[in-house]
Amino acid sequence: MNPRFKRILAALDRSPASARVFQQALALAQQHYSQLMLIHCVGLRTLENWGTYLDAGVGLASPSRLQRLQELHLDEVNTAWQWLYDQALLAQAEGVAAEITCVTGDASSQICRFARDWDTDLILLGHNGKPGLKQHIFGSTTTHVVLHAPCSVMAVQASVDAQSWNSHQEAQTVSQVCDTARDKRLVRSTWNYAVLWAGS
């Protein structure tokens, strides 16, 4: 069987939506016999504080403070790697061999860059939005990925309606949406749990 999605990239950020992104990624990987990559991005918020201290003249007088900021950033990265490793073990328990990668920087840009380098067929990531303008539906990170990704993007909603659907049904619906999305346009799922941007 030739999978429609040979390579699936699941962007996890430890938000409420991450668990659903992870489960959906597993379901799709199983259905399409895909390679699965779990990616987490550590922001530069801690490192950006360096500039604040330097601008204020504090950093020049307090090298220990800058060292502490660097240590905090490294702790964030190490924690992220451990968390990703734990997610990979959970995937393995479900019969899916997942690879992991942790990047540093702006999440939306790094996700798109990695997706391009890894020749990704589908990106999954979460969103907490409500109906409205695109940026309100998705959030800034998801909006950027949707608009700049080199492949199809599936945004998984953090919360769902009271009526639940199992992963197999969800995976079937995603496939149906993919088959009907020929151009670059937004396609809303009939179950209102996901939005797919089909790349050209």
| The two structure tokens encoding residue 124 | 């999954």
DSSP 3-state of 18: helix
- Please determine, for residue 35, whether its predicted confidence score (pLDDT) is greater than 70: yes
What is the predicted pLDDT for the residue at 67? 80
Angle at CA 80, nearest 5°, toward 111 and 112?
Answer: 0
Half-sphere exposure of residue 62, counting CA atoms within 13 Å on the CB side?
14
Going 118 to 8 to 84 to 21, the CA torsion angle's sign is: positive
**Euclidean distance between the first and final Cα of the chain, in Å?**
23
CATH number corresponding to 7-197: 3.40.50.12370
What is the predicted pLDDT for the residue at 200? 39
Average pLDDT (45-63) is 55
Domain spans of the chain? Answer: 7-197
Cα 141 from Cα 83, distance rounded (Å): 21
Cα 9 from Cα 120, distance rounded (Å): 7
The DSSP line for 33-99 is T-EEEEEEEE-SHHHHHHHHHHHTTHHHH-HHHHHHHHHHHHHHHHHHHHHHHHHHHHHHHTT--EE
Average pLDDT (162-186) is 39
β-strand pairing of 194-197 with 152-157: antiparallel
DSSP 3-state of 169: helix
- Please determine, for residue 182, whether its predicted confidence score (pLDDT) is greater than 50: no
What is the predicted pLDDT for the residue at 47? 55
